[in-house]
Amino acid sequence: RAAGRRWPGRSPAARPIARPDAVLLGRRWSLGYLVVGVSTGLIAPLTPSAVQEGLYGLLGVSVIAAVAGGLRLHRPARPLAWRLLLLAMVLVVVANFGWAGMIAAGLNQSHFSIFDVAYYAMYPALAAATAILPVHGRYGSPLAGMTEAAIITSTAGVLLWTLLVDPLVFDVGTLPRDPDVLAYPILDLMILSMGIRLILVTGTRARAHLFIILAQFALLAADIVYFVSVANGGRMTGPPLTVIGWSMANVLLGAAALHPSMGSVATAPSARLAPERPVALPFYVLLVLLSPAAGAYSVLTQLRTGHLDPFDVIVPIAGTMLTAVLLVARLGQLTGVAQRRATDLDTRTIDLEDALHRQHALQAELAHQALHDPLTGLPNRALLLRRTAEALDRATPGGLLMFDLDGFKDVNDRYGHPAGDALLIAVAHRIGVRLPSGSVLARLGGDEFAIIAEVADPDALAECATEIVATLRMPFEVQGHRLHTSASVGLRWIEPGAATDDLIRDADLALYAAKSLGKDQVVVFDPALREKRLEGARTVERLRSALDCGELEVWYQPIVALPGGRSAAVEALLRWRAFDGPAVPPDRFIPAAEQSGLIVPVGEWVLRQACRDVAGWWREHGTALSVNVSPLQLREPGFAAMVRAGLAEAGLPPSALILEITENVLMRAEDGIAQLAALRADGVRIALDDFGTGYSSLAYLRDLPIDALKIDRSFLPSDGPDSGQRTPLVRAIVELAGALGLNTIAEGVETAQQAALLAELGCQWAQGNRYGAAMTAQRIPALLSGPLAESA
């Protein structure tokens, strides 16, 4: 057994496999059998009757062998039709032998016998075999083609009647001795119509199928000849032509079974559009005309011969009516086909519309993606540009507002990007729900957002911006963390006639300015900003060279102990005087240095320089050094090491150093806090600079690695109108610091009253012009000798 020839999903045993050479063998056997069978059938009548009987008997048995052999050889997937054919052949052969036996025994052949039953039984078997040969597809109907076959049959029936049966039987007035002879042609005609239907429905060209139809035709022809012969008083065995026709029919069926195409399945087209192949129109016309024409011919000829009887009219008319009814039925079927075709087209149209719809949806989706930020779903920069242009066109009053989260990078660094993303989404939502109607919120990338605000005037725009800043100061609960953030905002009023790009660039400049000014604030665009921006860039360039050229200098401002005014420390304050120009104030170049990152090397230089300057004062007077530290410096992983190296270089103990940091730094840089904590463990003190101007929750202070608060000078009572209200604030801060075990340093002390108040409140240290402004290192030793202010 050939291995490896497996049918998918079936065990090889489930379906016997035809031998590999079955096709070749089948062709040869089929052709050989046909040639031998036909020649035998043709030659037999020429032989003596005994030989003739034997040859026809042999031919009959050979058909059974041929069909059985074909079934074995080709192993068709649907063997039932061929088994029914085999059954039909067995019945015929049995009937033939029985008949021959009856003749040999001299029995009355005209009597209905058991063998006639066998002959009749052959017809259902043959009809069933022909009927189940075609396979109907999913949409095909088992009835397909039946109507057309019936039309052909009914017309052929009328012809059969008018041309043969009527003239030979009824006109003669003698019924044949055996009425069966009339039944056979009619049954043959029905079987043939099944064969014609097979071709009509499947359009099969398979040799095996054609042989079957030819056999059915031969059977019909032979039975007609037999009928005519019997009707004319011939012998019941029939003329040789009849026997030849019968044997031809058998041989053709045997050859069909042997042919390899017997295994091929005649499939009716499964496509909904072509459920069957309608017969060509001219053929219909011919069919419709044939039965009335035959009827008319019959009536006219019989009028002349005087043989006209009612049946001559009834039968053709009945046949014509049947044909007409069948044609109408066929018409209905074709209409149904046309309708199905139409709905199918409709469905296709609907499918097409659906596909178009989906394509549109996809396009919309892509357009949305191109214009929106995937994280927040907000419009992106491209759409902001478009909306800004539209706002310009509409000329409705409004402004462009750009904001950016201060220290967003720290959130990412500290809590991870998912937390940063969640914060951005929360910001987008918080701002989105508070926007004035008609406004557009966009995300430009990173932590930068923009708003086109539809507001009445620049004041309303500024109000809106202030509100946003206030809103963003409220902490966010993100992934279980409580995140504090703030925003810097740049504003640009949309002036009619302005260019979109300019508006966006101006708002961006204002935002940049807001950040430069210390963040957490609003800056309204001013044309001077453009100049400032350029200047900032120039400043950074010059500062870079200033560090190399030695244009930088560290000045010192004394910090005194209260009460008494004994100098306790000095704050290092950076000064920059270009060789060929005026001094640049720190408020101008420090922000530029921070934005450019230049503050890191500059800050390091300050610390090392200050440590060297202060070393002697520390040894002599115990004067400590206070140094400002930028958030950017703290982010450097080597910051603590750098500080230790600076101290070691100058021979200073850690207790001689105070690091001034701002609140924002502490809240956002985990690594920075760790470095500060490590330095603090060494003995370095940490002071929180500008205390009170930030927005940290006071409870948070408890957990920070700090030793002192530097109270911002804006809290000190002055001669101004609200001076009275500030005193309780300073008192509260000092008390709070005391409760937390922190020292307090008051900044910007200018008057004796302020000094007296601070001393009374229990503030430990003070710094300000009252004790001395920032000065060069050379001038400090003279100050350190005695008290700096006698009154406090």
Rounded CA separation 40/35 (Å): 8
**Which residues does 173 contact at the CB level (< 8 Å), separation at least 6?**
none
Interacting residues with Ca ion (CB under 5 A): 628, 660, 689-690, 747
Residues 763-782 that bind ligand C2E (CB under 6 A): 768-769, 774
Q: How far is the CB of 585 from ligand C2E (least distance, A)?
A: 6
| Cα–Cα nearest to 279, from 287, 270, 271 | 287
Is 216 a binding residue for ligand C2E by CB under 6 A? The answer is: no
> Which amino acid is located at 296 in the chain?
A
3-state secondary structure of 660: strand
- The residue among 218 and 568 lying less far from ligand C2E, judged by its C-beta, is 568
- The residue among 95 and 716 lying less far from ligand C2E, judged by its C-beta, is 716
Q: What angle do CA 115, 121, 122 make, to 5 degrees?
A: 95
From ligand C2E, Ca ion, none, which one binds at residue 222 (CB under 5 to 8 Å depending on kind)?
none
Tokens representing residue 428 in the block: 């987008």
What is the CB neighbour count within 10 angstroms for residue 331?
12
Q: Which stretch binds ligand C2E (CB under 6 A): 470-478, 537-545, 566-574, 753-761?
A: 566-574
Is 254 a binding residue for ligand C2E by CB under 6 A? The answer is: no
- The residue among 489 and 590 lying less far from ligand C2E, judged by its C-beta, is 590
DSSP annotation string for 328-339: HHHHHHHHHHHH
- Mark 675-704 with x for binding to ligand C2E (rule: CB under 6 A) and - for no binding: --------------xx--------------
Is 478 a binding residue for ligand C2E by CB under 6 A? The answer is: no
Q: Which stretch binds ligand C2E (CB under 6 A): 106-114, 289-297, 534-542, 599-607?
A: 599-607
Buried b (16+ CB within 10 A) or exposed e, 522-559: bbbbeeebeebbeebeebbebbeebbeeebbbbbbbbb
Rounded CA separation 374/367 (Å): 12
- The residue among 74 and 713 lying less far from ligand C2E, judged by its C-beta, is 713
Q: How far is the CB of 488 from ligand C2E (least distance, A)?
A: 17
Q: How far is the CB of 628 from Ca ion (least distance, A)?
A: 5
* Total of chain residues touching ligand C2E, rule CB under 6 A: 20
From Ca ion, ligand C2E, none, which one binds at residue 603 (CB under 5 to 8 Å depending on kind)?
ligand C2E
- The residue among 223 and 747 lying less far from Ca ion, judged by its C-beta, is 747
From Ca ion, ligand C2E, none, which one binds at residue 240 (CB under 5 to 8 Å depending on kind)?
none
Q: Which residues pair with 576 in a beta bridge?
A: 552, 584
End-to-end CA distance of the chain: 118
| Cα–Cα nearest to 500, from 369, 373, 367, 393 | 393
Q: Which stretch binds ligand C2E (CB under 6 A): 374-382, 487-495, 567-575, 725-733?
A: 567-575
Rounded CA separation 435/451 (Å): 9
Q: How far is the CB of 710 from Ca ion (least distance, A)?
A: 5
Rounded CA separation 263/488 (Å): 85
Residues 735-754 that bind ligand C2E (CB under 6 A): 748, 750
Q: Which stretch binds ligand C2E (CB under 6 A): 8-16, 122-130, 582-590, 779-787?
A: 582-590
Q: Which of 167, 603, 672, 717 binds ligand C2E (CB under 6 A)?
A: 603
- The residue among 387 and 710 lying less far from ligand C2E, judged by its C-beta, is 710
Residues 622-651 that bind ligand C2E (CB under 6 A): 628, 630
> Which amino acid is located at 261 in the chain?
S
Q: What angle do CA 355, 360, 364 make, to 5 degrees?
A: 145
Residue 18 phi/psi, 5° resolution? -65, 150
Q: What angle do CA 710, 714, 715 make, to 5 degrees?
A: 70
Residues making contact with ligand C2E (CB under 6 A): 557, 572-574, 585-587, 590, 599, 603, 606, 628, 630, 689-690, 748, 750, 768-769, 774
